[in-house]
Structure 1
Amino acid sequence: MSSLMAQNNLSVIEIDLINRSLEKSYALKKSIHELSIDSIERKIIRQNFIPTLEADAKYGYASSRIDIDIPTLQLPITGIELFEGDSRFNTQGQIFNANLTAKALLFSGLQVKYGSKATEEKIKAKNFMLHAEKADIIKDVIDTFDTIELLKQSEIVITKSEERLAKEKERVKTAIKNGLAIPYDRDKITAAELNLASKKVELHGNLSLLYLKLSMLTDVNISTLENYSFELTPWTLKNIGQNFSDRPELKALNASVKAYDYKLKMNKNAYLPKVQAVASLSYSNLFNASLETPYALPGGENINLELDKFELAPAYFLGVGMQWELFSGLKHTNETHIARIEKNIIEEEKSDIEEKLELFAKKVQVNFDVKNQQLVLKAQEMQVAKNSLNLAIKSYREGLISISDRLQTETEYQNAVLNYYNFVAQQRMVALDLLISTGSLQIENLKN
């Protein structure tokens, strides 16, 4: 894994605000909750081997008619024939039954093993994507810092320009009274002041929105945020590599491919038998039962049987059961085909993303180098603009240039300074992209 560290690290306040934004993020909380659910589901799969204990009890009244045809039996002495032809019996009684049953899965046909591993890889994939979500949040918060500081620098530039124009205006007013200048110069300066005031109003509106956004991201009061100072200086990264294999998105796809491998193994082993151990203890009682027969004793009295109690307790059962699905209607075959297709989709997506990430990493590296070179030129351009401004102020006071030239130089200096800080903000965002491109944008890499 390549190491990319920002030499100009974030301040303690900025790190604290980033941590607060990570704690506040509702999207991040949702992803963490989903991970918790997946972890519980994996435990449920593994817990299939834990024995279960069930208790049940039944009480009821039963009534039934029985039709039988068995060989005729002639009683000695009396000569009565029993069971001649079809015999019909009516029986009824009350039944109570209670059972205590323990079951333990001994062999799941490898379904638990591979199902647990598939879920484990699924959790890994989501964990990797959690890192990617965190990186996006960190970048968004830092971008907000930089934009706030960029606007603050803009305000400083505008305020200094206002101060210079105010002094120039006072000097022109004095010159007009002495006949050394014309009102035109004063009006041009006034127009320039109004333009700066307009920019300032827009700037304050944008600042208020940014502070509101940062407050929503971090749950820190706007008044507190307004007292913070954010740094806007170029970042220099050391030990820059171009290894994009540590990108969390790529690691998530690798984990997803493994998850489908285990899912395929589950389907391929679905034909293996499942073995379960069973132990039960039961109590049964048939009471107040009667059986009405179609037979009669000499004298005409029907033969009816009464049963006060027929109790079976305790009744033990110990054994092993096996369930073997010999034919599932091609269900597992179709599931295997679907899983294989889904795996192919992930593998093709992985290949596509690998190519794009490689291009992105090279593009960001080139962009970072370009921004660094441009910053050197922009700093020089800002210094030249400052020298030109000082010269223009002196030349105007000596009457060598017009007020229009003087104000144009003022505007050029403002643009040069703001352009420099704008490029600093861009360079910092490209530096963050470079950290993201190698999966290195983590708080640990930004701390002092």
Structure 2
Amino acid sequence: MRRHFLYSFCLLCVLSIGKIHAQLKEPSLKELVEAAINKDYRLANQRLDVALTEVDQRLLKEAYLPRVDISGKEAFLFSSFAVKSQEIQIPQLDIDIKTGRNRFSMVSNLVMAGAGGNMLLYSGGKIPHLKRALEEKVKAQTEIMEKDRQEIIGAITAAYDQLALLKQIRLVLDDSEKRLAENKKTADKAFGYGLITKYEHQKIEVAQAQLASKIQDYEGKRTLVLRQLFLLTDVESERLALINNGLNPLEGPLTDNNIENRAELKALDAAIEANRFKIKAEKTWFVPKVQAAASLGYLGLLGGHLSSRDPVSLTGEKLSAGMPNLNILPTFNIGVGFKWDLFDGNQGKREVQKAEIEFSKTKNERKEVEEKLELNLTKSQTDFTSALSQVQVRYKQQETADNALKQATKEYRTGLIKSSQLIDAEEDFQQAALGFIQAVYNQRRSYIDLLKATGNLTIQAIQ
């Protein structure tokens, strides 16, 4: 009963593990690229830059909306003033006021409240030009994002091709391992019969040890590439380990073999247009601006008190009396006004000069970038042509080395050549096979670089 239970439990575990592995699916190149684009932090920040510019666009659209504010203030008011009186004599009324000086002080609570609003009616043409400038700025930022997307495609395809390259290398090494194992058996028999020396017998063992070192190096490189892909995409490592892609030369029609589609040039063209509209906007500094305004207010003096320092002439006593409250309500105004800067200290003129300088700098930058992109395209075309020819040359070398290895294997087993000669043929074949694989990898990279140089690198173009 216990054995039956253990057997059932183990079977359940095996089935569960098999089910889990069955659910894992090898990620496609398209999935890896999309995952990397979604994760890339620089691209995410560029999306935020576009969002900030869009906020600026909304601010300009809302410039014509009315602005309303409410304000209030309560304060303690104190004032002091001196009064000098002249001599006044009226004998008929028995009035005789001598010359005198007195100082009066007044304290009160000041209360102010108000509500106001204003609305821009005409900006002198500045806001429409700034709107167009921001539209071009968004175009430029979007094109720069396309450039970075192509950079991401290049990085992912490079890692993806490296996995295929390593896979082909492992196949070559495995085949060499099998052949060396067979030849080791032959060498063991020959050494047992005294047909070869110990040195010749050890040559096979040394070759096996070197091959084992290459296999270990392969494992390390594959682990590194898989880690790189994980960091770029966040795709599960278990799924990345399932990648089993091939490595074949990339072929396809290379239309539009120029730099007109490069994102950098499109971005700079948009930046030039943005600067052009910026100049037009700054040149409106002298055009009158019109706005409507309205306000409603209240002013009050509460709890006032008036006092004197010396007795006043009429009563002979110091003055100390309360003041009546003063309430002014409402104070209301509404109207339309304009502002015309006839001379602003040359500030507007200097802003125009700065915008024109930025415009010239952007035009110069475009010329420089265009020259560099033309040179890069020429280099990419040359590298692609050279890579194509290298694939053909390396394939012929692999064929020749393969035939030589087959012949050497036959001769070794019949005792016509020594083990050192067989190992030399094996190493020559390894180098030729690995050289052909590397040539195919280089051809794929040069094809992708050429697509990038023309601005036409997409997943569809390389699948």
Compute the TM-score of the two structures, normalised by the length of structure 1.
0.87
Q: Does 1:286 find its partner at 2:266?
A: no
Partner Cα separation in structure 1 for residue 217 and residue 43 of structure 2: 33
* Offset, 1:239: 4.5
Match of 1:3 in 2: none
Q: In the alignment, does 2:175 pair up with 1:157?
A: no
Q: Specify the SS of the correspondent of 2:342.
A: coil
> Displacement, 1:85?
11
1:132-157 Cα deviation digits (max 9, x unpaired): 11111111111011112212211211
Asked if the contact 2:129–2:281 (Cα under 8 Å) also holds between the matched residues in 1, the reply is: yes
- Among residues 270, 273, 279, which one is paired with 1:255 in the alignment? 270
1:133 is aligned, of 148, 156, 159, to: 148
- Provide the secondary structure at the position in 1 that maps to 2:113: strand
Task: Provide the rounded CA distance (Å) in 2 between the counterparts of 1:51 and 1:81.
Answer: 64
SS at match of 1:353: helix
- Residues 387-396 or 156-165, more deviating: 387-396
Matches within 5 A, 1:98-117: 98-117=113-132
Matched, 1:363 2:379: yes
Q: Which amino acid aligns with 1:180?
A: L
Q: Report the CA distance between 1:381 and its aligned residue.
A: 2.4
1:22 is matched with which residue? 37
Aligned twin of 1:38: 53
Structure 1 residue 70 displacement after superposition: 12
Could you tell me which amino acid in structure 1 is paired with residue 171 of structure 2?
A: I
Q: Structure 1 stretches of 5 or more lacking a match?
A: 1-10
Q: Quote how far apart the aligned CAs of 1:201 are.
A: 1.7
Match of 2:11 in 1: none
1:396 aligns with 2:395: no
Name 1:309's counterpart in structure 2.
325
User: In the superposition, relative to structure 1, how do residues 156 and 246 fare at CA in structure 2: closer, same or farther (>3 Å)?
Assistant: same
The two structures, once aligned, show a CA RMSD in angstroms of 3.1
Paired AA for residue 385 in structure 1: A
| Partner amino acid, structure 1, of 2:401 | A
Q: Which amino acid aligns with 1:269?
A: T
The answer to whether the Cα contact below 8 Å between 2:27 and 2:243 also exists between their aligned partners in 1 is no
Q: Read off the aligned partner of 1:418 and give its amino acid letter.
A: L
Return the alpha-carbon distance in structure 2 between the equivalents of residues 106 and 149 of structure 1: 65
Identify if the C-alpha distance between structure 1 residues 134 and 69 changes in structure 2 by more than 3 Å, giving closer, same or farther.
Answer: farther
**Superposed displacement of residue 207, structure 1:** 1.6
Per the alignment, in what secondary structure is the counterpart of residue 55 of structure 1?
strand
User: More deviation in 178-187 or 188-197?
Assistant: 178-187
Q: Give the AA of the match of 2:295.
A: S
- Counterparts of 1:37-436 in structure 2, within 5 Å, are 37-66=52-81, 90-291=105-306, 298-300=314-316, 306-436=322-452
How much has 1:81 moved relative to structure 2?
11
* CA offset digits 1:369-418 (Å, max 9, x no partner): 33223223322322222222112211222233332222111111111111
1:237/1:431 contact within 8 Å kept: no
Amino acid at match of 1:55: I
Label 1:411 to 1:301 Cα distance change in 2 as closer, same or farther (>3 A): same
- Structure 1 residues 78 and 434, CA gap change in structure 2 (3 angstroms): farther
Using a 3 Å threshold, how does the CA distance of structure 1 residues 178 and 281 change in structure 2: closer, same or farther? same
Q: Secondary structure at the match of 2:246?
A: coil
- Normalized per residue, which structure has more helix? 2
Tell me which amino acid in the other structure corresponds to 2:138.
I
1:14 and 1:230 in contact (8 A); partners too: no
> What per-residue deviation string (whole Å, max 9, x for no partner) do you get for residues 264-299 of structure 1?
222222222322211112222222334558995755
Distance 1:285 1:42 in 2: 43
Q: SS in structure 2 opposite 1:105?
A: strand
1:73-113, CA deviations, whole angstroms, 9 ceiling, x for partnerless residues?
999x969899x999975433222221111111112233322
Partner Cα separation in structure 1 for residue 222 and residue 89 of structure 2: 112
Instruction: Measure the CA separation in 1 of the matches of 2:326 and 2:94.
Output: 32
Q: Report the counterpart of residue 6 of structure 1 in structure 2.
A: none
Rounded to whole Å, the distance in 2 between the matches of 1:125 and 1:67 is 70
Shift of the alpha carbon at 1:56?
0.9
Please tell me the residue identity of whatever aligns with 1:325. D
State how far apart, in whole Å, the 2-side matches of 1:49 and 1:246 are: 39
Asked whether the equivalents of residues 297 and 303 of structure 1 are also in contact (C-alpha less than 8 Å), the reply is: no
Structure 2 vs 1, CA of residues 210 and 298 (structure 1 numbering), >3 Å: closer, same or farther?
A: closer
What secondary structure does 2:291 align onto?
strand
State how far apart, in whole Å, the 1-side matches of 2:164 and 2:86 are.
107
Counterpart-to-counterpart distance in 1, 2:89 and 2:131? 68
- Structure 2 vs 1, CA of residues 187 and 28 (structure 1 numbering), >3 Å: closer, same or farther? same
1:327 maps to amino acid: F
Between the aligned partners of 1:327 and 1:81, the Cα distance in structure 2 is 61
Q: How many correspondences in the alignment?
A: 436
CA contact (8 A) 2:265 2:366 kept: yes
Q: Deviations over 1:193-246 (max 9, x none)?
A: 111111122221222111111111111233331122123211112252223111
Greater CA drift, 94-103 or 330-339: 330-339
Quick one: structure 1 residues 190 and 290, their matched pair in 2 at CA, closer, same or farther if it must change by over 3 Å?
same
| Preserved contact between residue 93 and residue 288 of structure 1 (Cα < 8 Å) | yes
Instruction: Tell me, yes or no, if the aligned pair for 2:130 and 2:278 is still in contact at 8 Å.
Output: yes
Cα gap change, 1:180 to 1:304, in 2 (>3 Å): closer
Q: Give the distance between the partners of 2:321 and 2:276, measured in 1 at CA.
A: 66
SS in 1 for 2:285: coil
C-alpha distance in structure 1 between counterparts of 2:86 and 2:263, whole Å:
82
What is the identity, as a one-letter code, of the residue corresponding to 1:107?
Y
Alpha-carbon distance between aligned partners in 2 of 1:160 and 1:372, rounded to the nearest angstrom: 27
Secondary structure, in 3 states, of the residue corresponding to 1:308? Answer: coil
The 1:299–1:50 alpha-carbon spacing in structure 2 relative to 1, beyond 3 Å, is closer
The unaligned stretches of length 5 or more in structure 2 are 1-25
Whether the aligned pair in 2 keeps the contact of 1:105 and 1:276 (CA below 8 Å) is yes
